[in-house]
């Protein structure tokens, strides 16, 4: 059991902690608006991730296999929405007043929709549940325990990404550097979407 837990933790950390639309947007949010104002966005991402976990465990793979058009439609909608968040980050005003921060920062619903439609999240969980399922005798408990471990790891790595964004926030006080970094974050998010489609 110990080896299975270590394998699950390692795989989940690598799959969910690697640069992707959600993690990059969290870093950009932390850098632009700070950790406190990024918490609603983080909460939305984690709730969306929870839905992705449930979706992966109740047979999303079987649904996509039976209806390939649905898979493509979900991926396209998710990709478009992630690109929308990228544009929102890239085009935000360089100098933000304290009064404007709350209204401009990505909201809970933005994080929820982003991860709900994030193709990387579904691909990651389908891989995790097919290869790293914890070895409990009762299948339902095995899926539940594995899902809870995944959510715990995701919470930790997402907080780290948000905090890392905050560490580079002094750069965002310089208008030119702030604009360049926001555009870089946005382009990386779009690149992550394109990579996900290429892998698929």
Least confident of 10-14, 86-90, 179-183: 86-90
Q: For residue range 59-84, what is the model confidence (pLDDT) as tens digits?
A: 655 665 677 777 677 667 766 766 77
Delimit the domains of the chain by residue range: 2-11+21-199
Contact 60, 130 (CB under 8 A): no
pLDDT digits (tens, 9 = 90+) for 95-122: 444 444 455 778 899 999 988 887 777 7
3-state secondary structure the chain: CHHHHHHHHHHHHHHHHCCCHHHHHHHHHHHHHCHHHHHHHHHHHHHHHHHHHHHHHCCHHHHHHHCHHHHHHHHHHHHHHHHHHHHHHHHCCCCCCHHHHHHHCCCHHHHHHHHHCCHHHHHHHHHHHHHCCCCCCCHHHHHHHHHHHHHHHHHHHHHHHHHHHHHCHHHHHCHHHHHHHHHHHHHHHHHHHHHHHHHC
Tokens of 199: 């892998």
Band of pLDDT at residue 128, cut at 50, 70 and 90: confident
More confident residue, 143 or 73: 143
């Amino acid at each position: 059991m110990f080896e299975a837990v270590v394998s699950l933790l390692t795989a989940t950390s690598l799959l969910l902690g690697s640069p992707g639309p959600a993690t990059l947007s969290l870093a950009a949010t932390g850098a632009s608006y700070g950790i406190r104002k990024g918490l609603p966005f983080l909460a939305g991402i984690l709730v969306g991730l929870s839905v992705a976990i449930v979706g992966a465990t109740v047979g999303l793979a079987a649904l996509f296999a039976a209806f390939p058009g649905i898979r493509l439609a979900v991926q396209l909608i998710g990709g478009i929405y992630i690109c929308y968040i990228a544009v929102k980050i890239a085009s935000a005003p360089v100098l933000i007043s304290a009064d404007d921060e709350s209204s401009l920062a990505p909201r809970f619903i933005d994080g929820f929709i982003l991860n709900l439609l994030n193709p990387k999240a579904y691909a990651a969980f389908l891989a995790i549940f097919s290869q790293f399922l914890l070895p409990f005798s009762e299948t339902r408990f095995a899926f539940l325990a594995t899902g809870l471990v995944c959510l715990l790891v995701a919470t930790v790595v997402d907080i780290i990404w948000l905090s890392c964004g905050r560490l580079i926030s002094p750069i965002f006080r310089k208008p030119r550097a702030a604009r360049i970094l926001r555009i870089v974050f946005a382009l990386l998010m779009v690149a992550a979407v394109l990579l996900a489609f290429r892998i698929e």
